[in-house]
Amino acid sequence: MSRDKDYLRLAIDVSRHCPVSSSAYAVGAVLTSLDGEILTTGYSRETGDKEHAEEVAIAKAVNANIDLSQTQIFSSMEPCSTRASKELSCCDLIIKMKIPRVIFCVKEPDLFVTCTGLKTLETAGIEILHDPTDTHMVYAINQHLFPHQEKGTP
Ligand SMILES: [Zn+2]
């Protein structure tokens, strides 16, 4: 679906707002209804030091009383399956909120933790799509974390 690509590109654009951190990625997320109405967006550290993009977008939807079981989330990076700073990973949150469909661009590199987000969500019965088309853009935005790597090569 080409609309998936548009929303994924939007999630990547949103990630440009992230405050730079030397110890965390800049990630953007867009939450839409299943028929494509944009509901909320979020980016890393938007409302707090440790916050993840998906978490921010989901929290905004919860505050707006949106039924998350009728939504899908687009993220510039694979939702985390483990995290050091909080009890719930983004995968835990997505499963808990019963979000049925997840689309992401870049597999999380093994820089901080080994991420098994794709597998975790798949196992939970969630439709998960990995579309790496714009990987180079996500790496360019996170270039400060990959000083020795060429753009676009994970
Ligand atoms: Zn996360």
Query: Which pLDDT tens digit goes with each residue over 26-83?
Result: 999 999 999 999 999 999 999 999 999 999 999 999 999 999 999 999 999 999 998 8
How many beta carbons lie within 10 A of that of residue 91, not counting itself?
27
Q: Ligand 1 centroid to 90 CA: how many Å? A: 4
pLDDT grade, residue 147 (50/70/90)?
low
Q: Ligand 1 centroid to 54 CA: how many Å? A: 6
The CA-atom distances, in angstroms, between 104 and each of 4, 65, 108 are 10, 24, 10
Q: What is the pTM of this model?
A: 0.92
Question: Which residues are registered as beta bridge partners of 29?
Answer: 42, 75
Query: What pLDDT is stored for residue 41 in this prediction?
Result: 98
- Asked whether the predicted pLDDT for residue 92 surpasses 50, the reply is yes
Q: Ligand 1 centroid to 119 CA: how many Å? A: 15
* Strands annotated E in 18-78: 28-33, 38-43, 71-77
Instruction: Please report, in angstroms and rounded to a whole number, the separation of the first and last CA atoms in the chain.
Output: 25
CA distance 25 to 102: 19
Would you state the structure tokens that stand for residue 148, as one six-digit string?
A: 């020795």
Query: What pLDDT is stored for residue 149 in this prediction?
Result: 55
How many beta carbons lie within 10 A of that of residue 50, not counting itself?
13
Could you say which DSSP state residue 80 is in?
P
Query: What pLDDT is stored for residue 109 in this prediction?
Result: 81
H or E element that contains 9: helix 2-14
Provide mean pLDDT across the span 94-108: 96
Catalytic status, residue 108? no
pLDDT grade, residue 152 (50/70/90)?
very low
CA distance 21 to 49: 9
Mean pLDDT, the chain, rounded, equals 92
Q: Ligand 1 centroid to 89 CA: how many Å? A: 5
Provide mean pLDDT across the span 90-114: 92
Catalytic annotation, pick one of 54, 55, 78, 108: 54
Question: Which residues are placed with Cβ below 5 angstroms of ligand 1, an ion?
Answer: 52, 80, 90
Query: What pLDDT is stored for residue 148 in this prediction?
Result: 59
pLDDT grade, residue 125 (50/70/90)?
very high
pLDDT grade, residue 134 (50/70/90)?
very high
Structural domains of the chain ordered from first start: 2-145 (3.40.140.10)
Q: Ligand 1 centroid to 148 CA: how many Å? A: 24
